[in-house]
Amino acid sequence: MTRATVWNEFRHEREHDQVAEIYPDGIHVTIAEALEERGIDAETATLDEPEHGLPEDTLDDTDVLLWWGHDAHEEVSEAVVDRVQDRVLAGMGLVVLHSGHFSKPFRRLMGTSGTLRWREAAETERLWTVNPGHPIADGVGEYFEVDEAEMYGEPFDIPAPDELVFTSWFEGGEVFRSGCCFYRGNGRLFYFRPGHETYPVYHDETVQRVLGNAVEWAADGSDAPAPGVENVDPIEPIDTDDDRSVH
What are 70-115's pLDDT values in tens digits?
Answer: 999 999 999 999 999 999 999 999 999 999 999 999 999 999 999 9
Q: Which pLDDT score, from 0 to 100, does residue 135 have?
A: 98
- What's the mean pLDDT in 195-211? 98
Q: How confident is the model at residue 232 (pLDDT cuts 50, 70, 90)?
A: confident
pLDDT band at 247, cuts 50/70/90? low
pLDDT tens digit string along 38-55? 999 999 999 999 999 999
Percentage of the chain modeled with pLDDT above 70? 95
CA-atom Rg of the chain in angstroms? 20
Q: What does pLDDT average to over the chain? A: 95
What is the pLDDT at residue 183?
98
Q: Is the N-terminal amide bond of 155 cis, ω within 30° of 0?
A: yes
Q: pLDDT tier at 224 (50, 70, 90 boundaries)?
A: low
pTM to 2 decimal places: 0.94
- How far is CA 125 from each of CA 131, 175, 185, 196, 219, rounded to the nearest angstrom? 18, 9, 33, 12, 28
Domain residue spans in the chain? 3-112+178-218
Q: For residue 124, which amino acid is it?
A: T
What confidence tens digit (pLDDT) does each residue in 98-157 have?
999 999 999 999 999 999 999 999 999 999 999 999 999 999 999 999 999 999 999 999
* Residue 197 buriedness (CB in 10 A; 0-12 / 13-18 / 19+): buried
Domain 3-112+178-218 architecture: 3-Layer(aba) Sandwich (3.40)
